[in-house]
């Protein structure tokens, strides 16, 4: 039998070929696993590098801190002193220790001083130009390690003391300024100097324009022409005194500057003046020379010219040029305190100040102030001015005043002002003044001042002649009541008195010391003037004052429908002021004049007079007692009050309401020690004539006039008395005398 063959086992089949997508998926999985392993490795190394990066600076910082702590910086004092001395030209000393702190990174120096040159030290007795108890400087660690540069973040000065000295040979700071701060480019300086005149005109326009909106009825201010603003032939352009002058100076920059209890002193032997700023505290942020920065400061100030002490507390934006030649203060606000010596017992005065701009150029001696405002004691003042200062000052500006109380200000400033009869006099002054100081001449133009019920307009000029000042003026006043400005004197009971007293003032409360030093000439016109109850109009006074003698010639006025033509000389050189008044009066209404002067009129009529009077004194009573001179009176067409011929002849009593017409009255006589003796008295009246003598005593305010009366046309019932001489007596108080006819003494 044939063996059945077992069928052969088919070989296993190979897997089917893998698809492209499956292959990519597998490769991607393998790649992701590989990337993950790689990222993990990078992260581990990154952390290691980060740790190294963090530890290494820390190690460097710790190493730096350790090195700093191990270094004795005091060993470098000689090198530091030598370097600063060579750079500044002034000996530099560090008496105290040098300390360094790592965090914050600060340097501090104790007891540092910059010496004056020997000539200034000997002349002024001041060895140190600058001394500081402690200087602390904070340096930026970041800039030091990262940017490899030294950057100062903060500067603190404890008790700095800066002394600036000046004499006829120069000053002690110029050399320091030119060594620490590179010298100014002479070409730029030349351009600046050439443009000063044009800049002055431009600044004058700016000052006027700044104030114009605040001036009532201000006129439009013309813009300076191109010709006015032109600069000399080198075609240099007009620019602010500025950047080019400081372009090569180093940039000083601080995040903060602190000064504690500083002191600044200026001694100027040229003008014999000393000014001191003390108790100075200052805080400033982001300080960079050449750019504005915020500042807050308080300090005390006084000078040798005044007994007053000032205190300031001010916040402002300050801009200082890199060469310290230009100082600009903007938008300042603050408080100023003014204190007189304790013995004067005057309360401290507080003044609130603010302003837009204050610019000071030390290189060119120029200053500009725009809208500086001051509020104190209920007063408001605004000032703007500009120009150059110094020996050849050339300044101009405007001053606005409102609510200014002269008496109150004088008290707080320590100025002696007499007490006026009117206690409200000079308590409300307001107005505007434009002024200019040029070539030792101070001009006040466009004066418009109002006080009490008066308004003053005009101009005034003061010029310096050697050490003396001379004034020229042309002033007009609409109305003035001199009654308000009489010096108030009181007796022992406290009531107002006219007795002799303090000879420091005239009756009008004008200081005699001021008049002795006054050199002036000019014209004052007063539209309406009242003095001792007497009203005058259209007063014209031409004043000439020199060496204690004041002459008013002419001294003319319209006086109660008539006129006064006179001259008055006042001499204040003696112990008591003397007066010499001479002139004439024409066609004055005597009734109105006497009523105004004495509140009563014993007679009226048209008054003519010629007089030449002299007296001495500082108050009314003494002036009357010392009255000397001659007086001729000629009166026409008036009435005698308190007299009636019919009543007199009938023996009836006469009343003050009685009056009798007269055609002419003549008196001629002399004043002696306040008593007028008229040796010639002539009267021509209705129905009578009289002649005789008269005595007027101003000391006792009495009158006595014995006259001989002749009846030229007696009343019908007394016709028999025609041609008869009767004794007539006129006597009694000046304001209300009485008439008496003695019929028992008929002749």
Task: For 74-97, write each residue's pLDDT tens digit.
Answer: 887 888 888 888 888 888 998 988
- Confidence (pTM): 0.70
Instruction: State what percent of residues in the chain have pLDDT above 70.
Output: 76
Q: Determine the number of helices (DSSP H) and then strands (DSSP E) in the chain.
A: 12, 32
> How far apart, in whole angstroms, are the C-alpha atoms of residue 479 and residue 455?
7
Q: pLDDT-derived band of residue 275, with 50, 70 and 90 as boundaries?
A: confident
Could you tell me the CA-to-CA distances from 387 to 127, 268, 363, 365, 570 in Å, in that order? 35, 22, 13, 9, 40
Of 227, 245, 238, which Cα lies nearest the Cα of 195? 238
Q: Is the pLDDT of residue 9 over 50?
A: no
DSSP readout, 573-630?
SSSS-EEEEEEEEEEEEHHHHHHHHHS--SB-SEEEEEEEEEEE-SSHHHHHHT-EEE
Q: pLDDT-derived band of residue 249, with 50, 70 and 90 as boundaries?
A: very low
Tokens of 87: 């750079």
User: Are 97 and 110 within 8 A, CB to CB?
Assistant: yes
Task: For 120-132, write each residue's pLDDT tens digit.
Answer: 888 888 889 899 9
DSSP readout, 641-679?
ET--HHHHHHTPPP-TT-EEEEEEEEEEEEEETTEEEEE
Mean pLDDT value across residues 150-170: 86
In this prediction, residue 260 carries a pLDDT of 94
287 bridge partner residues: 254
User: Are 308 and 337 within 8 A, CB to CB?
Assistant: no
Task: For 430-474, write each residue's pLDDT tens digit.
Answer: 999 999 988 878 999 999 999 999 999 999 999 887 778 899 999
Asked which of 99-103, 164-168, 246-250, 635-639 is least confident by mean pLDDT, the reply is 246-250
Residue 262, classed as helix, strand or coil, is strand
Q: What are phi and psi of 54, to 5 degrees?
A: -80, -40
Pairing of strands 379-388, 520-531: unpaired
State the distance between the two ends of the chain, measured CA to CA, in whole angstroms: 227
Tell me how many degrees the CA angle 534-537-538 measures, rounded to the nearest 5: 145
CB pairs under 8 A, 24+ apart, for 305-313? Answer: 305/273, 307/340, 307/341, 307/414, 308/338, 308/339, 308/340, 308/413, 308/414, 309/338, 309/339, 309/340, 310/336, 310/337, 310/338, 310/339, 311/336, 311/337, 311/338, 311/339, 312/336, 312/337
> How far apart, in whole angstroms, are the C-alpha atoms of residue 417 and residue 425?
12
Mean pLDDT value across residues 288-294: 86
Burial call 594-625: b when 16+ CB within 10 Å, e when fewer: bbbeeeebbbbbbbbbebebebbbbbebbbbb
Greater model confidence, 494 or 317: 317
User: Which sequence spans correspond to the domains of the chain?
Assistant: 627-745
Q: What are phi and psi of 424, to 5 degrees?
A: -95, 5
> How far apart, in whole angstroms, are the C-alpha atoms of residue 405 and residue 421?
16
Tokens of 366: 């120029």
Q: pLDDT-derived band of residue 689, with 50, 70 and 90 as boundaries?
A: very high
Mean pLDDT value across residues 11-23: 48
- How remote is the C-alpha of 528 from its chain's centroid? 30
Instruction: State what percent of residues in the chain have pLDDT above 90.
Output: 36
In this prediction, residue 365 carries a pLDDT of 82
In this prediction, residue 656 carries a pLDDT of 80
Greater model confidence, 738 or 178: 738
Q: Is the pLDDT of residue 678 over 80?
A: yes
């Amino acid at each position: 039998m044939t063996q059945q063959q077992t069928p052969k086992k088919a070989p296993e089949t190979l897997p089917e070929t893998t698809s492209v997508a499956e292959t990519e998926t597998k490769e991607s999985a393998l790649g992701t696993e590989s990337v993950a392993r790689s990222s993990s490795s990078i992260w581990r190394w990154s952390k290691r590098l980060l740790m190294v990066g963090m530890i290494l600076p820390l190690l460097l910082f710790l190493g730096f801190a350790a090195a700093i702590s191990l270094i004795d910086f005091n060993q470098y004092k000689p090198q530091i002193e030598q370097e600063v001395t060579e750079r500044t030209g002034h000996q530099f000393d560090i008496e105290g220790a040098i300390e360094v702190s790592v965090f914050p990174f600060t340097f501090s120096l104790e007891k540092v001083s910059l010496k004056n040159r020997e000539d200034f030290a000997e002349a002024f007795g001041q060895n140190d130009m600058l001394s500081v108890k402690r200087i602390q400087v904070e340096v930026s660690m970041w800039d030091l390690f990262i940017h490899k540069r030294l950057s100062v973040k903060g500067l603190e000065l404890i008790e700095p003391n800066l002394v600036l000295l000046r004499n006829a040979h120069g000053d002690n700071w110029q050399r320091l300024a030119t060594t620490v701060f590179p010298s100014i480019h002479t070409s730029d300086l030349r351009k600046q100097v050439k443009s000063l005149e044009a800049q002055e005109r431009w600044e004058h326009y700016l000052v006027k324009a700044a104030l114009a909106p605040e001036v009532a009825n201000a006129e439009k201010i013309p813009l300076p022409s191109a010709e006015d603003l032109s600069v000399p032939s080198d075609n240099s352009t007009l620019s602010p005194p500025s950047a080019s002058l400081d372009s090569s100076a180093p940039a000083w920059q601080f995040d903060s500057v602190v000064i504690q209890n500083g002191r600044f002193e200026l001694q100027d032997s040229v003008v014999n003046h000393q000014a001191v700023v003390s108790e100075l505290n200052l805080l400033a942020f982001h300080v960079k020379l050449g750019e504005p920065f915020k500042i807050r400061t308080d300090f005390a100030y006084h000078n040798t010219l005044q007994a007053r002490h000032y205190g300031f507390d001010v916040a402002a934006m300050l801009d200082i040029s890199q060469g310290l030649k230009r100082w600009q203060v903007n938008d300042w606000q603050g408080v100023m305190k003014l204190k007189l010596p304790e013995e004067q017992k005057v309360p401290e005065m507080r003044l609130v100040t603010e302003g837009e701009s204050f610019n000071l150029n030390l290189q060119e001696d120029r200053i500009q102030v725009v809208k500086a405002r001051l509020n104190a004691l209920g007063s408001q003042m605004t000032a703007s001015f500009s120009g150059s200062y110094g020996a050849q000052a050339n300044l101009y500006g405007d001053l606005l005043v409102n609510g200014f109380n002269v008496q109150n200000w004088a008290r707080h400033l320590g100025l002696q002002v007499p007490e006026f009869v009117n206690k409200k006099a000079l308590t409300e002054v307001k107005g505007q003044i434009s002024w200019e100081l040029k070539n030792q001449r101070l001009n006040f133009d466009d004066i418009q001042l109002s006080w009490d019920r008066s308004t003053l307009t005009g101009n005034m000029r003061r010029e310096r002649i050697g050490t003396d000042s001379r004034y020229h003026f042309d002033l007009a006043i609409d109305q003035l009541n001199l009654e308000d400005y009489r010096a108030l004197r009181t007796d022992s009971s406290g009531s107002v008195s006219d007795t002799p007293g303090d000879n420091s003032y005239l009756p009008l409360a004008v200081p005699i010391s001021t008049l002795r030093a006054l050199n002036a000439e000019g014209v004052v016109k007063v539209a309406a003037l009242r003095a001792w109850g007497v009203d005058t109009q259209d007063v014209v006074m031409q004043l000439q004052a020199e060496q204690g003698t004041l002459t008013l010639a002419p001294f003319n006025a319209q006086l109660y429908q008539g006129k006064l033509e006179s001259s008055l000389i006042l001499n204040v050189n003696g112990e008591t002021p003397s007066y010499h008044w001479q002139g004439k009066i024409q066609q004055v209404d005597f009734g109105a004049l006497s009523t105004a002067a004495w509140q009563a009129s014993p007679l009226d009529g048209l008054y003519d007079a010629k007089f030449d009077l002299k007296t001495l004194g500082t108050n009314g009573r003494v002036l009357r007692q010392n009255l000397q001179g001659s007086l001729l009176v000629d009166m026409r067409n008036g009435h005698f009050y308190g007299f009636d011929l019919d009543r007199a002849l009938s023996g009836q009593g006469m009343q003050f309401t009685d009056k009798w017409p007269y055609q002419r009255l003549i008196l001629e006589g002399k004043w002696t020690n306040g008593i007028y003796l008229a040796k010639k008295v002539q009267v021509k009246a209705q129905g009578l004539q009289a002649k005789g003598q008269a005595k007027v005593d101003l000391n006792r305010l009495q009158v006595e006039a014995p006259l001989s009366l002749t009846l030229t046309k007696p009343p019908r019932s007394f016709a028999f008395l025609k041609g008869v001489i009767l004794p007539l007596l006129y006597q009694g108080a000046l304001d209300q005398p009485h008439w008496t006819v003695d019929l028992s003494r008929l002749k």
